[in-house]
Amino acid sequence: MEERKIGVYVCNCGTNIAKMVDCDGVCEHAAQQPGVVLAKSYKYMCSNPGQEMIIEDIKEQGLDRVVVAACSPRMHEPTFRKALQTAGISPYFLEMANIREQCSWVHDGGEAATEKARALTLGAIRRVQYHQPLERRSVNMCPNVLVIGGGFVGMTAALELADGGSQVYLVERQRNLGGNVARVDLTAPYLDSARDMVTALITRTMEHPNIFVFLNSEVGSLEGYVGNFRAVVDTVWGDQATSNEYEVGNVVVATGYKEFDASRVTHYGYGKLPNVITSFEFEKMLRAGRVETKEGKTPNYAAIIHCVGSRNREFHTYCSRVCCMTALKYAHELKSAVPSCYVSDLYVDMHAFGKGHEDFYRRGSEAKTLFLMYAKGDHPVIRKAEPKDGCEMLIEVNEKLSREVIEIPADLVILMVGMEARDDSDAVARLVNISRDKDGWFIESHPKLDPVATTTDGIYIAGACAAPKDIPDSVAQARAAAARILARTIRGTIDIDAVFAEVDEDKCCGCRICNGLCPYSAIEFNEEKKRSNVISALCKACGACVAACPSSAITARHFTDEQIFAQIEGVLA
Amino acid sequence: MATDKLQIALYWGAACGGCDVSVLDTNEFILDVAAAADIRMWPIAVDGKYSDVEAMEDGELDLAFYNGAVRNSENEHIAQLLRRKSKTVVAYGSCAYMGGIPGLANLTNRDKILDTAYVHNASIETGNRVVPQPETRVDGKVLEIPRFYRRVYRLDNVIDVDYYLPGCPPDAGQVKAVILAIVKGELPPKGSVVGASDVALCEDCPRTRGEKKISRFYRPWEILADPDKCLLEQGILCAGVATRSGCGVRCPKSGIPCRGCYGPLPGVVDQGAKLLSAVSSVIDSKDPDEVDRILEGLPDFTSIAYRYSVASSLLQRSYQQ
Contacts of A346 by beta carbon, 8 Å cutoff, 6+ apart: A303, A304, A305, A306, A372, A373, A374, A380, A395, A397
The Cα B292–Cα B199 span in angstroms is: 32
Residues of chain A with CATH 3.30.70.20: 497-557
Taking 90 as the threshold, does the pLDDT of residue B300 lie above it?
no
Q: Where are the beta strands (DSSP E) in A49-172?
A: 65-70, 94-98, 137-140, 145-148, 168-171
Q: Is the dihedral of CA A153, A159, A164, A170 positive or negative?
A: positive
Taking 80 as the threshold, does the pLDDT of residue B93 lie above it?
yes
Output the 3-class SS for A351-400.
Answer: CCCCCCHHHHHHHHHHCCCEEEECCECECCEEEECCHHHCCCEEEEEEEC
On chain B, the residues whose CB falls within 8 A of the CB of A547 are 277, 281
Residues of chain A with CATH 3.50.50.60: 145-257+421-493, 260-419
Radius of gyration of chain A (CA): 30
pLDDT at A163 (0 to 100): 97
Q: Is the dihedral of CA B39, B42, B46, B50 positive or negative?
A: positive
What ipTM was reported for this prediction? 0.90
Contacts of B108 by beta carbon, 8 Å cutoff, 6+ apart: B318, B320
Instruction: Name the residue facing A516 among B212, B240, B274 (closest C-beta).
Output: B212
**Do the chains contact at B203 and A507, CB–CB below 8 Å?**
no
A552 touches chain B (CB under 8 A): yes
**CB-neighbour burial class of residue A268 (10 A; exposed 0-12, middle 13-18, buried 19+):** buried
Instruction: Name the residue facing A511 among B209, B213, B267 (closest C-beta).
Output: B209
**Do the chains contact at B267 and A507, CB–CB below 8 Å?**
yes
**How many residues are present in chain A?**
573
Nearest CA in chain B to A518: B281
How far B201 CA lies from chain A's nearest CA (Å)? 7
Contact between A525 and A512 (Cβ < 8 Å) = yes
Contact between A551 and A511 (Cβ < 8 Å) = yes
On chain A, the residues whose CB falls within 8 A of the CB of B200 are 509, 511, 550-551
A527 touches chain B (CB under 8 A): no
3-state secondary structure of B9: strand
pLDDT at B312 (0 to 100): 95
**Do the chains contact at B241 and A513, CB–CB below 8 Å?**
yes
pLDDT at A102 (0 to 100): 94
Displacement of CA B22 from its chain's centroid (Å):
13
Contact between A159 and A207 (Cβ < 8 Å) = no
The Cα A195–Cα A437 span in angstroms is: 32
List, as ranges, residues 131-150 from A with C-beta within 8 Å of B: none
Upstream peptide bond of A387 is cis (omega within 30 degrees of 0): no
CATH architecture for residues B6-102+150-184:
3-Layer(aba) Sandwich (3.40)
Taking 90 as the threshold, does the pLDDT of residue B126 lie above it?
no
**Do the chains contact at A509 and B241, CB–CB below 8 Å?**
yes
Taking 80 as the threshold, does the pLDDT of residue B1 lie above it?
no
Instruction: For an interface test with A, give the residue of B198, B233, B281 to mutate (most A CBs within 10 A).
Output: B281
Contacts of B152 by beta carbon, 8 Å cutoff, 6+ apart: B14, B69, B70, B71, B99, B102, B103, B105, B106, B310, B311
Taking 90 as the threshold, does the pLDDT of residue B4 lie above it?
no
The Cα A503–Cα A501 span in angstroms is: 7
Digitized pLDDT (tens) for each residue of chain A, 573 residues in all: 778 999 999 999 999 999 999 999 999 999 999 999 999 999 999 999 999 999 999 999 999 999 999 999 988 999 999 999 999 999 999 999 999 999 999 998 779 999 999 999 999 999 999 999 998 888 899 999 999 999 999 999 999 999 999 999 999 999 999 999 999 999 999 999 999 999 999 999 999 999 999 999 999 999 888 999 999 999 999 899 999 999 999 999 999 999 999 999 988 999 999 999 999 999 999 999 999 999 999 999 999 999 999 999 999 999 999 999 999 999 999 999 999 999 999 999 999 989 999 999 998 888 789 999 999 889 999 999 999 999 999 999 999 999 999 999 999 999 999 999 999 999 999 999 999 999 999 999 988 889 999 988 899 999 999 999 999 999 999 999 999 999 999 999 988 889 999 999 999 999 999 999 998 889 999 999 999 999 988 888 999 999 999 999 999 999 999 999 999 999 999
**Do the chains contact at B203 and A516, CB–CB below 8 Å?**
no
On chain B, the residues whose CB falls within 8 A of the CB of A548 are 277-278, 281-282
Instruction: Name the residue facing A516 among B198, B203, B213 (closest C-beta).
Output: B213
On chain B, the residues whose CB falls within 8 A of the CB of A517 are 281-282
List, as ranges, residues 49-78 from B with C-beta within 8 Å of A: none
Q: Where are the domains of chain B?
A: 6-102+150-184, 109-149, 201-312
Question: Across the beta sheet with A217-225, what order do the strands follow?
Answer: A217-225, A228-237, A240-248
pLDDT at B3 (0 to 100): 66
Mean predicted lDDT score pLDDT of chain B: 93
In the DSSP assignment, the letter for residue A446 is B
Greatest alpha-carbon span in chain B: 71
Taking 80 as the threshold, does the pLDDT of residue B321 lie above it?
no
- For B311, list phi and psi in degrees, rounded to 5: -75, -10
Question: Across the beta sheet with A412-417, what order do the strands follow?
Answer: A276-278, A412-417, A301-308, A342-347, A370-373
Q: Looking at the domain that runs over A145-257+421-493, which CATH code has it been given?
A: 3.50.50.60
The Cα B278–Cα B273 span in angstroms is: 8
The Cα B58–Cα B53 span in angstroms is: 10
On chain A, the residues whose CB falls within 8 A of the CB of B213 are 516
Model pLDDT for residues B208-261, shown as the tens digit of each residue:
999 999 999 998 889 999 999 999 999 999 999 999 999 999 999 999 999 999
Nearest CA in chain A to B233: A513
User: What is the dihedral angle through the alpha carbons of A413, A474, A419, B287, rounded to the nearest 10 degrees?
Assistant: -170
**CB-neighbour burial class of residue A540 (10 A; exposed 0-12, middle 13-18, buried 19+):** middle
B39 strand-pairing partners: B8
A170 strand-pairing partners: A147, A213
Taking 80 as the threshold, does the pLDDT of residue B319 lie above it?
no
Closest CA to B248 of B236, B261, B267: B261
- For B74, list phi and psi in degrees, rounded to 5: -65, -45
Nearest CA in chain A to B264: A551
Helix ranges restricted to H, A398-470: 425-432
Contacts of A152 by beta carbon, 8 Å cutoff, 6+ apart: A178, A179, A180, A181, A197, A198, A201, A463, A471, A474, A475, A478
Q: Quick count: other Cβ atoms within 10 Å of Cβ B136?
A: 12
Domain A6-134 has CATH 1.25.40: no
Q: Quick count: other Cβ atoms within 10 Å of Cβ B305?
A: 25
Angle at B19 between CA B17 and CA B25, to 5 degrees: 110
Q: How many CA atoms lie within 13 A of B54 on its CB side?
A: 5
Q: Looking at the domain that runs over A497-557, which CATH code has it been given?
A: 3.30.70.20
Q: Where are the beta strands (DSSP E) in B81-219?
A: 86-92, 135-138, 141-144, 148-153, 163-165
Output the 3-class SS for A239-306.
Answer: CEEEEEEEEECEEEECCCCEECCHHHCCCCCECCECCEEEHHHHHHHHHHCCCCCCCCCCCCEEEEEE
**Do the chains contact at A515 and B199, CB–CB below 8 Å?**
no
Displacement of CA B272 from its chain's centroid (Å):
14
pTM of the model: 0.74
Model pLDDT for residues B256-281, shown as the tens digit of each residue:
999 999 999 999 999 999 999 999 99
The share of chain B scoring above pLDDT 90, in percent, equals 79
CA–CA distances in Å: residue A449 to residues A73, A210, B319: 17, 31, 47
- For A259, list phi and psi in degrees, rounded to 5: -75, 150
How far B31 CA lies from chain A's nearest CA (Å)? 37
Q: Quick count: other Cβ atoms within 10 Å of Cβ A381?
A: 14
pLDDT at A377 (0 to 100): 87
**Do the chains contact at B245 and A511, CB–CB below 8 Å?**
no
Q: What average pLDDT score do residues B77-95 get? A: 97
Model pLDDT for residues B133-156, shown as the tens digit of each residue:
999 999 999 999 999 999 999 999
Model pLDDT for residues B58-81, shown as the tens digit of each residue:
999 999 999 999 999 999 999 999
Q: Is the dihedral of CA A81, A87, A88, A94 positive or negative?
A: negative
A151 strand-pairing partners: A178
Closest CA to A329 of A452, A471, A462, A466: A471
Instruction: State the distance between the two ends of chain A, measured CA to CA, in whole angstroms.
Output: 19
Q: What class is the A260-419 domain?
A: alpha beta
